[in-house]
Structure 1
Amino acid sequence: MANNFPLSREKVRSILSDDVHISPITNEKLDYFRNAIRNAYPDYRRKFGERALNPQIFAENIIKRHNHTIKLYSISYQQNYYKNDQHIKQIIDDFINAENAKQDPEHTFTRDAYIDPLILKFENLIDSRYQKLKAFDIAKIKDPQLTLYNLTVRYFQELVSGIMLLEREFYNDAFIVWRSLLETTVTLLILYNNANLVGKFNERRNIALMRVKVLGTSRQAQKDKAKETKQQLGFKGVPDYIAERYGWAGELIKSREYSLRTLLEIINMVDLYPHYAFASLFVHEYLISPEDLRLEIDFEKYLLTLYFKLYEAVRVNINDFTNDLDAVKKLEQGVRKEVNNFKAQFNDFSARIQTT
């Protein structure tokens, strides 16, 4: 099969988009792709059988995946990558892993032709735990566990939404969803640590439904509920919307600073507040993009790091419903290693946005 693979130099040249000013297109480089793809295709064909792409499309996908990633490397790497067999091998392996995930009808994520390998690792981790969560028998539990379960489901729904946007490079929208996910994570952790507050939290939902007229109630009943939430805060001189938002956690708030920052301090995650504030540039639409801000950071990895930090914050708690913490350690380690490699850049950028 490898010897009969119809992949000419001309075909490779027509797809390859290397910057010729950095690394000219030579026959050696063209043959690098031809030989690696030819040699890999038979095993790929055996693995996927009738579902396998034809040789030409397989080759096109591999080369386009290379085109997508090579620009992220240093100039010296771009000049010499074709002398390194591991470069093309990794691209082929990543493509086959992505294709394999696409074949799973139960997989949480819809696949694009190209998926960043790090995002794919994170998606596989999320999918594994989300499937376990959905399989949990909620008939066995009641409050406060039932509310914690429902809020954990909501956490995963937001997490899945954000990573799907990140996969498609909708960075602004992924940042907006992350901001919402941070609020959900904060609520989830406070309730996991203070299950006695679940009743008050659920009452908050009822108050909101009354306010928007979904639950029928008298004006006096609404006033009574508003008064009750202010009493929970221990301070009557706040607007109703503040009392509604923070009243359920009032006994944990030691000051009159009612904000997400205060709740973040309660769970020792206040270091994420500058990123929450930074995200407001994208939430309150100014048509600002990462390019406008001239960020000296890989915005995709920055956002994925933020998402993974929220996963790390709840990974142990959600085990109450998934019972899979040991089983997913290898998946976690794969993502954690990549995130840790980005730590210096992330910390540097974090310090800068705290001073703006």
Structure 2
Amino acid sequence: MPADGSRQHHLKEDHYPDGLSATGGVATNCQTTAENQITEVMSVEDESTSCYCLLDSASVHLLLDQPGSYALVGEPLTQAAVKRLKLAVFGGLEAGGATSYSLRVYCVDDTPHAFQGVVSAERSQGGQLLEEPKTLPFLANTFSLQVSIQDVPQFLWSIKPFTTCQEFSFPSVWCSSQQHCAFSLQRFSPNTSQLSCKISVRQVKGHEQILQVYTAVAETEKDPAPFFLQTDCSITSLSGPGAFNIPSSIRQRICATFDTANAAGKDWQLLAQKLHLQRNLGFFSQQRSPSAVILSLWEARHQDSAHLDSLASALEEIGKIHKTSPQDEPESDCSQTQGGGECVRTN
């Protein structure tokens, strides 16, 4: 149990729908019980004192009394709904054929976990990432996704007939976390050491992305592409020594200031409002330290020590709003110092 009195378990999960609230998407959190039965916990639109759900643009945050397995379930209500796809192309020599080269195109949910699974699988078979991954907005317009290979040097490489364009139905893309296809190319001469072409990924009556391939083809070339080292290819963690935490002294002072309402009205409800967490206040009111839970949620959404400035600004704004009687204003430590992230600002 945290020392500040916050008893909640925080779960964060990346999601891939764009404009979820704008398109009227309704999401429900469901828990899997020990008997493998699904029970509805809450709707995102509902207020609850036992569960708090917050949808950000790329992730969902859940605060729960009990740990468990939870799912975010939703459906598009209009054709304006969008599912973000991450597109990547990998390549490598085919087994048993020094002149055969395979290009594998993946269309996966735009989340770190989904792409990391592809990276791990390709690494195990010596695949190379040939182009920086790109994002494609996939519309809920019921139209299919087409993947085609273009501009293959015709005097250097050949490709099997009728395989230059491959198609995935709308349901298979919308309801699945991963789609992939492969193009098998044959070089006319073993001396051909370069391959250049384009991969077009487009939705009918939707968006298109082009993946440009230009790679050396050599039997000895097994090193992973430098894109593997990019930060978006790894899974980040909200725990451990690398995670950002509000310094303990600042957290304790904020909680002491805002957990009890005073004549100036500077209580935890105003803190929630200024930190843009004013929804479902009934959940916070049931907590032993509402301010501690609010700060923990804010902390999870802002995993960068640079965001302490925005926290300091919010507290300063609260101080300005209620500066009617300076003698009633408690001091608020909130200006950054380098290194430890402690801040001291006195109203």
Using the size of structure 2 for normalisation, the TM-score is 0.22
Between structures 1 and 2, the one with greater strand share: 2
Which structure carries more helix by proportion? 1
